[in-house]
Structure 1
Amino acid sequence: FDPTKTRVLLVDHQDSFVHTLGNYLRQTGAEVITARSGEPAMQILDLVAEEASGKPKDDPEAETWIPDLVVLSPGPGNLSDFGLTDTITKLMELKIPCFGVCLGLQGMVEHFGGELGILSYPMHGKPSTVTLTGTPPKGIFTGLPTKFEVARYHSLHGLPETFPDDILVTARTDDGVVMGIEHKTLPFAAVQFHPESILTNPNYGLAILENAIKYLDAKDYDK
């Protein structure tokens, strides 16, 4: 392992975009390990928990790979198929920052008490203009224009009227669909669109991932 690089665990929810997302994350200079959701990803997090507990290792010389950020990938199907709330609970226990994409945002919404709705017309491979709520843009959107075009691949979406006070809406489409969220106090943020898609400006997509690594890693759990 390279101690000079940020370590990112990319949790794969069986999505066709996951390798592209992983390549984008590597372009930021991060060291990326991809693990399928469920047991493969939880095994890595269980090793982190063992390290934190001070439990003696079978091999005292072995280094535990501890991620600085966990990215929850997009994915097909239902959230319950992938155990997102178990993953998020584990990350909170271990105090590891988290960034979600598409399904990852939906998982955060449900985990923190919000609800999801179904779009009247599915947006699969469709471009949309998003507007950022921050002036100037901050957090994962630092340095980006207030409006830009993104790629959408989803039929479920977060219902902002059901969000708890701790979940802030950071981006919306012109017709009000939530495209970005951030937890008020925890280092958790997500986007509904795909920053790694060819339909999203590649400079902006990469900037969002760079910001997620820098901003969420620096956002303290205890503040």
Structure 2
Amino acid sequence: MAETQRPVLVVDFGAQYAQLIARRVRESSVYSEVIPHTATVDEIAEKQPLAVILSGGPSSVYAEGAPQLDARLFDLDIPVFGICYGFQAMAQALGGTVAHTGTREYGRTDLDIDGGLLHGGLPTRQPVWMSHGDAVTDAPEGFEVTGTSAGAPVAAFENRARKLAGVQYHPEVLHSPHGQQVLSRFLHELAGIPATWTPANIAESLITSVREQIGDGHAICGLSGGVDSAVAAALVQRAIGDRLTCVFVDHGLLRAGEREQVQQDFVAATGAKLVTVDAVDKFLGELKGVTDPEEKRKTIGREFIRSFEDAVSEVVVEQSGGTKPEVEFLVQGTLYPDVVESGG
């Protein structure tokens, strides 16, 4: 597995900020993925993560049915960072004490700092964003307590030898002004992860991966004019050159000038081979008299597939001099939010 593809895993314990934590990791130029707390230790190990971050969550560690943390995670010799509920679950699994202190902290809170790698050099008293009822009262053996607050006797700890650390507050939100620094220090200084997940490195990694996957084959890309398909097409074109054919269907429902922009600007920027299908009359004819939005959506989808298939048929015949070659690959650009919403 390539180094740039090994993720930092964010274990979601039901936090509203789990995706935000993953975003903050990426802003530190490190690749991240969110996984559910039900993932087993074996499943985590299989992903070969560079580090694991345990998110917050609404539960008490003592509540019946609360998400559990398998202590075997710490036998994997992987850097781990706990946040809020994840911090408490981590402390409990490692032999520390989590208690109902009777003091709840919600919202802006002052954190008192006492050294440590993650907080060293930062203001000794700093505002952070808290959201907890239980609190860690005793750190696990071998851990240095580096932060306290009025409601959390142990608000931050770390064990540099084992590359383990955690905080009671939420470093991922802007209400914790030094939170991104703390998270970045965990990733780069404690876990030793290089800041290599940059746009240039991502592109080169994807191009290499596509080149290896496609080999000497051919590919077809349905180009919509949007960012997702345009970026996917540009990357694949850099990988396999003129063995990629992009098909753009003009269905008459485009923004003004979009067809010309795709034909001129996209081709000029990428050098990709482009086939444009003029299907305006067909689409508008099929949509004439249709008023139900869902029926419109289905009609557009159906006709787009038909137009694309017709175009692909003509393209492969032209490529083969009269006989169809095997076009083994279909290129599709999909935005990350679409993957999340579809459960992928």
Per the normalisation by structure 2, the TM-score is: 0.51
**Matches of 1:46 and 1:165 in 2, distance apart?**
25
* Aligned-residue CA RMSD (Å): 2.4
| 1:24-82 per-position Cα deviation (integer Å, ceiling 9, x unaligned) | 1110011001100123x5453242xxxxxxxxxxxxxxxxx421110000012133622
Q: Which residue of 2 aligns with 1:133?
A: 114
Give 2:129's aligned amino acid.
A
Is the 2:12–2:35 Cα contact (8 Å) retained in structure 1?
yes
> 2: CA distance between counterparts of 1:6 and 1:144?
30
Greater strand fraction, Structure 1 or Structure 2: 1
Q: Which runs of 5+ in 1 are unaligned?
A: 48-64
Deviates more, 1:98-107 or 1:74-83: 74-83
Would you say 1:117 and 2:99 are equivalent positions?
yes
The equivalent of 2:43 in structure 1 is 44
Instruction: Provide the secondary structure at the position in 1 that maps to 2:104.
Output: strand
In percent, how many aligned pairs have the same letter?
Answer: 24
Q: How does 1:13-92 map to 2 (within 5 A)?
A: 13-39=13-39, 42=41, 44-47=43-46, 65-79=47-61, 81-84=66-69, 86=70, 88-90=71-73, 92=74
User: Is the contact between residue 133 and residue 170 of structure 1 (CA under 8 Å) also seen in structure 2?
Assistant: yes
For residues 67 and 166 of structure 1, do their structure 2 counterparts lie closer, same or farther at Cα, with a shift above 3 Å needed?
Answer: same
Instruction: Tell me by how many angstroms 1:130 deviates.
Output: 0.8
Structure 2 CA distance for aligned equivalents of residues 105 and 94 of structure 1 = 18
SS at match of 2:191: helix
Q: Report the Cα distance in structure 1 between the residues aligned to 2:45 and 2:6, rounded to whole angstroms.
A: 20
Q: Which residue, out of 144, 159, 167, partners 1:168? A: 144
Deviation at 1:165, TM superposition (A): 3.6
Instruction: Read off the aligned partner of 2:182 and give its amino acid letter.
Output: I
Secondary structure at the counterpart of residue 75 of structure 1: coil
Matching residue's letter, 1:102: C
The within-5 A match list for 1:158-197 is 158-160=136-138, 163-174=139-150, 177-183=153-159, 185-197=161-173
TM-score normalised by length of structure 1: 0.76
Q: Secondary structure at the match of 1:180?
A: strand
Greater fraction of residues in helix: 2
Structure 2 counterpart SS, 1:131: strand
Does the alignment pair 1:144 with 2:122? yes
State the distance in 2 between where 1:103 and 1:175 align: 15
Moved beyond 4 Å, runs of 4+: none
Shift of 1:113: 1.5
Equivalence for 1:200: 176
Q: Which residues of structure 2 form unaligned runs of 5+? A: 194-344
Cα distance between partner residues in 2 of 1:146 and 1:190: 17
Whether the 8 Å contact between 2:136 and 2:152 is mirrored in structure 1 is: no
